[in-house]
């Protein structure tokens, strides 16, 4: 069985500040891990994914995430927030086999203050 | 290349009525997934098609939900009869062949049952 916990349903940062969105997972098998972003009135867009290669994963729009097996974490970071980063972010896990369902966390809504 | 499309974008129906949601995956994608997000909750898996066959329908809530994928192309999800707790956003996603773990999501259908 798998589960994902995202700490903080709402996170607010100032423009230019560090963005840190937390994700912890549990999985009985080696996981694949994903971060998705949903902008208003749009579908989910893949930001980045970890599939057992490099533990530091770089994604689109300057985001990156680090897989830490010992902490069962996959936190999402961005050094400097932009107003356009305001959206809802979802962490998801899939067992390490292709074509499997995603298990999502509850989502974190990121607000960026000018 | 066209992305995953879903129709309608919004649907408001009364309790007891029937609603059919449609998903058109990316052309050539064998895997098609349905997910649902009830307000305030996490996105949850409903079912997975590989071509026209149901690979995994463990997330379907009950027998009021019927999913089909005609000829391995588009898919429909019928809710009959609808109940208040069926309200939420229904997402469709698709991915390529057996080795693909990157799912592409549609914009979702927001279903409101009154």
Q: Does B48 touch chain A (CB under 8 A)?
A: yes
Q: Residue A4 — very low, low, confident or very high, per pLDDT cuts 50/70/90?
A: very high
Statement: residue A10 has pLDDT above 90: yes
Q: Which residues pair with B21 in a beta bridge?
A: B77
Which of B43, B55, B60 is the mutation pick for testing A, counting most A CBs within 10 A? B43
Share of chain B above pLDDT 70, in %: 96
Buried b (16+ CB within 10 A) or exposed e, B61-92: eeeebebebeeeebbebebeebeeebbbbbbb
Q: Residue B17 — very low, low, confident or very high, per pLDDT cuts 50/70/90?
A: very high
* Cβ–Cβ < 8 Å for B49, B55: yes
Chain-wide mean pLDDT for chain B? Answer: 93
Which of B42, B48, B106 comes nearest A43 by C-beta? B106
- Burial (CB count <10 Å: 0-12, 13-18, 19+), residue A95: middle
What confidence tens digit (pLDDT) does each residue in B30-39 have? 999 999 999 8
What contacts A53, CB < 8 A, 6 or more positions away?
none
Which residue's entry shows tokens 């391995």? B72
Radius of gyration of chain B (CA): 13
Q: Does B31 touch chain A (CB under 8 A)?
A: yes
State mean pLDDT over B11-34.
Answer: 96
CA nearest to A101, candidates A21, A5, A32: A32
- How many helices and strands (H and E) does chain A possess? 0, 12
State mean pLDDT over A12-37.
Answer: 93
Chain-wide mean pLDDT for chain A? Answer: 92
């Amino acid at each position: 069985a798998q589960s994902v916990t995202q700490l903080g349903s709402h996170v607010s940062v100032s423009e230019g500040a560090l963005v840190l969105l937390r994700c912890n997972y549990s999985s009985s098998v080696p996981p694949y891990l994903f971060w998705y972003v949903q902008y208003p009135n749009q579908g989910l867009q893949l930001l980045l994914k970890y599939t057992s290669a490099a533990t530091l994963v770089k994604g689109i729009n300057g985001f990156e995430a680090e897989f830490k097996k010992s902490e069962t974490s996959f936190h999402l970071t961005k050094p400097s927030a932009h107003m356009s980063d305001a959206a809802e972010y979802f962490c998801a896990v899939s067992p390490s086999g292709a074509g499997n369902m995603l298990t999502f966390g509850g989502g974190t809504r990121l607000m960026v203050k000018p | 290349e066209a992305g995953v499309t879903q129709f309608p974008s919004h649907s408001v129906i009364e309790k007891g009525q029937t609603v059919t949601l449609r998903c058109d995956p990316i052309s050539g994608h064998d895997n098609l997934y349905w997910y649902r997000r009830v307000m305030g909750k996490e996105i949850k898996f409903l079912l997975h098609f590989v071509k026209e066959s149901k690979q995994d329908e463990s997330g379907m809530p009950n027998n009021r939900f019927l999913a089909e994928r005609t000829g391995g192309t588009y898919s429909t999800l019928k809710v009959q009869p609808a109940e208040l707790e069926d309200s939420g956003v229904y997402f469709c996603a698709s991915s390529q062949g057996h080795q693909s773990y990157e799912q592409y999501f549609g914009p979702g259908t927001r279903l409101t049952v009154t």
